[in-house]
Chain A
Amino acid sequence: MSNKIETIDVNLHYGDFHALKDISLGIPENSVTALIGPSGCGKSTYLRLFNRMNDLIPETRITGKVLLDGENIYKIKATKIDALRRNVGMVFQKPNPFPKSIFENVAYGLRVNGITDKSFIEGQVEKTLHQAALWDEVKDKLKKSAFELSGGQQQRLCIARALAIEPSIILMDEPASALDPISTGKIEDLIFELKSEFTIVIVTHNMQQAGRVSDYTGFFYLGSLIEFGKTRKIFTNPSKQETENYISGRFG
């Protein structure tokens, strides 16, 4: 399988803080890659490299290469960043729907990208709500505010919203950490469904979750990538002592 994303010697500083240290990693296409590690290890920062979300934080310096389909996304023109983000969907830790109707939440990404064809938008909204396994629950109240949904429904709405603009990569930053076990289960099923079409990178605190949903796992510690490999191998036979300590719950 080819690598969809590849980072080569990436270093990232927030001011004086060295957040990512020499990270080189290839993320295979159409698979689920989990990034694990204790809080503050840099896994979220690393995830946010791929859609240049770190750019929003002042005094961030990045060196090294981040290749997406072979192109260094830190060398593209500023005007192309919007196009990059269209290709890289993101689901955040807490459900963060917009203060709009359910329909408009999903349609938002299409609208901001200049799509006005009403029937196309309607079709896309329905399709992605189906994909996010939310359609049956909201089909009668698409005009209602997204804030009326439960937390788990809101998170699936956010997934539908990310899918609507048809990205090829989906980044998930602890997507189930604010949800109850049943909602978490639904999200995990969804991730499993989606992996045939998308390359998914998921940051998670939850070791079992990483074990359940991912094909590959990367373990981060103190800003460095300690180990990367097939999930099964990382969880059963890690080659580094730190990984084993973390996975077996000795720290973290």
Chain B
Amino acid sequence: MRLRKITEPVFERLIKICGYSSGFIVLLIVIFLFKEGISFFNLSPVDEGSTLWVHNSNPVKELDAAQIKDIFDQKIDNWKAIGGNDQPIELFTLDELGEAFTAEQLGPKFEYLPKCIDSYMDSLPGAIGFFPEKQTVGLLKSAKEVEVDKVSFSTFISDTEWFPTSRPAARMGIMPLLLGTLLVSFFAILFALPLGLAASIYLAEIADDRVRKILKPIIELLAGIPSVVYGFFGLVVIVPFVQNTFNLPVGETALAGSIVLAIMALPTIITVSEDALRTTPRAMKEASLALGASQWQTIRKVIVPYAASGITAAAILGIGRAIGETMAALMVTGNSAIMPHSLLQPVRTIPATIAAELGEAPFGGLHFKALFALGCILFIITLIINLLVERVSAKRR
């Protein structure tokens, strides 16, 4: 008796601690994610420890990441295009330096490097140089450092290119990834919703008990299959199917991703909407039938409208599943981070990008932080989805 007086409060405390700690863990994850993600902004897109230089006479003072990439890809070859004088742009890096000067001229420890750069720059006023900070800053006379626009939230959101490893400046626009994610998820839900709704109507209203007792566990089992297995299935079945049907060079496309994600979202949609359909009072169904409505009319005009909010919740949950899905999307969508123009083209989703690139991004670097910023965006999207589900189901009660 006395023991119980001691143990019960202890257990009560323990249970309380468990409850609080789970909330605390969620908070910790969110703080950590956003700390890393937000520190991405206001970094320079140029490689750490490197600087860009132009001749003193060049009026161009500032460049953004997109312009730098175009210059070094030689898509922009005249300063005029970016507000400078009408003179051709010459790329000038350590490679050119090595060709123009001998090892002796550069000095055994590269101590003459700044001089060599100066003389090269003077002979080619249209040059743009890309050199390590150490041997240039404060040492060059002929050239001035170009200011590079920092990564901002607006370029991150609006830039249509994702080249996180391009040098000298990385381009990190979320647009292609975001659109890839939304495209794949949208079509996934477009495929899954009618199918899932039909299946849930069948289970809730038409199937007899025997059939339901077999089908329901099978559908629930579908939710338990690891996503990598879905990925395999997609790779072996869906991808070749898409490739052959549309006569494509590669089958790893947004369409293949949508189909696989649709299959993965099905169990959620079916079970949630079946539960919603089952809440329709029997009296309401009987009232409809008693008025001479057929079973189909009753389903369409009474049962589905009655369960509408539950079905909406099912659809939103399904979208959430599709948006957050990583492994299967990585395996079947083809992974090319370009702006999607059609379903029959490879795309890459946000979670797939994070999974694929995190391993090769240097810890704590620009690329690493960019991936965390992607994670933040994903978190915000799924948060909005969850809030929507909450609202819709709250309306139901």
Contacts and interface: CB of A to CB of B under 8 A. Distances in A.
Say if A and B assemble together. Answer: yes
Contacts of A111: 301
B305 interface: yes
Nearest to B286: A53
A100 B286 contact: no
B306 A82 contact: no
A111 B290 CA distance: 14
B287 A96 contact: yes
Given A94-B283, A96-B284, A99-B306, A83 B291 contact: no
B208 interface: yes
Interface string A98-119: 1110000000110111000000
A113 B298 CA distance: 12
A229 B204 CA distance: 43
B85 interface: no
Main secondary structure of the interface of B (DSSP, over half): helix
B291 A108 contact: yes
Interface stretch (A34-42, A84-92, A200-208, A210-218): A84-92
B302 interface: yes
B292 A86 contact: yes
Contact of A162 (B291, B302, B306): B291
A30 interface: no
Contact of B287 (A86, A90, A113): A90
B293 interface: yes
A231 interface: no
Nearest to B209: A58
B302 A98 contact: yes
B96 to A, nearest CB: 75
Nearest to A89: B290
Which of A51, A98, A112 has most B Cβ within 10 Å? A112
A104 to B, nearest CB: 9
B356 interface: no
Nearest to B296: A112
B286 A56 contact: yes
Contacts of B283: 92-94, 96
B287 A112 contact: no
Contacts of B294: 82, 112
Contacts of B284: 96, 98
A161 interface: yes
A160 B302 CA distance: 18
A23 interface: no
B43 to A, nearest CB: 54
Q: Most chain-A CB neighbours within 10 Å: which of B284, B291, B294, B301?
A: B291
B208 A109 contact: no
Contact of A86 (B291, B305, B306): B291
Given A58-B208, A112-B297, A100 B289 contact: no
A111 B305 CA distance: 16
A85 B291 contact: yes
A111 B291 CA distance: 10
B288 A92 contact: no
Interface in B289-322: 289-294, 297, 301-302, 305-306
Contact of A108 (B208, B288, B306): B288
Interface in A162-196: 162, 165
Contacts of A121: none
B9 interface: no
A165 B287 CA distance: 13
A12 interface: no
Given A92-B287, A94-B283, A98-B284, A165 B306 contact: no
Nearest to A85: B292
A158 B287 contact: yes
Contacts of A109: 291-293
A152 to B, nearest CB: 17
B281 interface: yes
Nearest to B308: A99
Contact of A112 (B285, B286, B288, B305): B288
Interface in B257-297: 281, 283-294, 297
Contacts of A85: 289-292
B290 to A, nearest CB: 4
Contacts of A162: 290-291
A91 B288 CA distance: 11
Contacts of A158: 287
A56 B290 CA distance: 11
Nearest to A57: B282
Nearest to B282: A56
Interface in A107-150: 108-109, 111-113
B297 to A, nearest CB: 5
Contacts of B281: 96
A243 B288 CA distance: 35
A113 B297 CA distance: 10
Given A93-B283, A165-B291, 6 more contacts: A82-B292, A82-B294, A89-B290, A90-B287, A98-B284, A165-B292
29 contacts: A51-B290, A53-B286, A53-B290, A82-B292, A82-B293, A83-B292, A85-B290, A86-B291, A86-B292, A88-B290, A89-B290, A90-B287, A92-B283, A93-B283, A94-B283, A96-B281, A96-B286, A96-B287, A98-B284, A99-B305, A99-B306, A108-B288, A109-B292, A109-B293, A111-B301, A112-B291, A112-B293, A112-B297, A165-B291
Cβ-closest 10 pairs across A and B: A86-B292, A109-B291, A112-B293, A90-B290, A96-B283, A85-B292, A112-B297, A82-B292, A96-B287, A99-B306
Interface of A: 51, 53, 56, 58, 82-83, 85-86, 88-90, 92-94, 96, 98-100, 108-109, 111-113, 158, 161-162, 165
